[in-house]
Amino acid sequence: EFAGEKGKGAGVYVTNVEPGTPAMKAGLQVGDIVTAVANNEIDQNGNYVDPLYGKIEFTNLLTAHAYAGDVVPFRIQRNGKPMQLNVTLEHRDAKDYVSPPYNLDQPPRYYVLGGLIFQELSRQYLKEWGPNWQREAPQRLVYLDRFQSELFPQGNRRFIILSQVLPANSTIGYDDLSYLTVTKVNGKEIRSLADLAEAVKQPIEGFIKIETEEDPKQIELDAAQVAAEAPILQENYGISVLDRLD
């Protein structure tokens, strides 16, 4: 009814089509209702019935069952009329995304600073909230992932998240912080974990100053204390290395 269509209610409503993608090249439009992908019926939640796993997201048909160059039929409803679009899949490297949708055989990147754990936003990160991550994960992070192309059409950056805080002397008062988006460190814009790692080397008047989009807006750590306590932090929490940037 939302789309002005009538019938059994199956399919998902297209709210956005990213420019330059295979879907746009095939003619998919905002307002279309995708009812089947690769001859698999899609329900109103965007799921299909997999013979092995049961109901799972239809994107699995494109990521696990098809390859670049394959032509995948999409059955749609447009203005009440059934149509078929043939989508030719293309490869897009994960590094070309602001929030990568996949991470093949690579452990997550991170940076630990005085008990603060920083990570890059990615679909893999969001899926830590389980199969209902789109509802269960912090909604501002889901929003950034979903609308990354519109918010940052040029790409060439990552979202850096203060994911959690390990209790330590240098992080007293910050224990409850989590899932904050980092904007600057020591006055320098942060567009990657590498940027963060470089910026923390240049404290301001002895303090590492971390700015976040959300409250508390700024976190300050004593640079000398962070450096002195790093070995203790590693021993207490069994952290072999304090960063993984590659």
**221 has which bridge partners?**
208
The pLDDT tens digits for 178-220 are 999 999 999 999 999 999 999 999 999 999 999 999 999 999 9
pLDDT digits (tens, 9 = 90+) for 116-137: 999 999 988 999 999 888 889 9
pLDDT for the residue numbered 59: 82
The model's pTM: 0.70
- Residue 11 CA to residue 29 CA, distance in Å, equals 14
Q: Look up the CATH architecture of domain 12-88.
A: Roll (2.30)
- Residue type for position 117: I
- What is residue 8's predicted lDDT score, i.e. its pLDDT? 54
Boundaries of every domain in the chain: 12-88, 94-244
What is the tens place of the pLDDT at every residue in 133-166? 888 999 999 999 888 877 887 778 999 999 999 9
Determine the Cα–Cα distance for residues 159 and 6; give it in Å rounded to an integer.
Answer: 40
Closest CA to 90 of 16, 157, 12, 24: 24
For residue 115, the tally of other CB atoms under 10 A from its CB is: 23
CA dist 47 and 242 (Å) reads 39
pLDDT of res. 56: 86
More confident residue, 2 or 9: 9
Q: Do domains 12-88 and 94-244 have the same CATH topology?
A: no
Residue 94 has φ and ψ, to the nearest 5°, of -55, -30
Q: How confident is the model at residue 104 (pLDDT cuts 50, 70, 90)?
A: low
**CA nearest neighbour of 203 among 192, 217, 219:** 219
Answer left, alpha or beta for residue 150, where phi above 0 means left and psi between -120 and 50 means alpha. alpha
Quote the pLDDT of residue 72: 96
Would you state the pLDDT for residue 221?
A: 98
Phi (first) and psi of residue 226, to 5 degrees: -60, -45
Residue 113's pLDDT band (cuts 50, 70, 90): very high
3-state secondary structure of 214: coil
Write the DSSP symbol of residue 107.
P
- With respect to CATH, is domain 94-244 assigned 3.30.930.10? no
CA distance 140 to 233: 30
At 24-72, the pLDDT tens digits run 999 999 999 999 999 999 999 899 998 887 888 888 788 777 888 999 9
Dig out the tokens for 39 from the structure: 């001859």
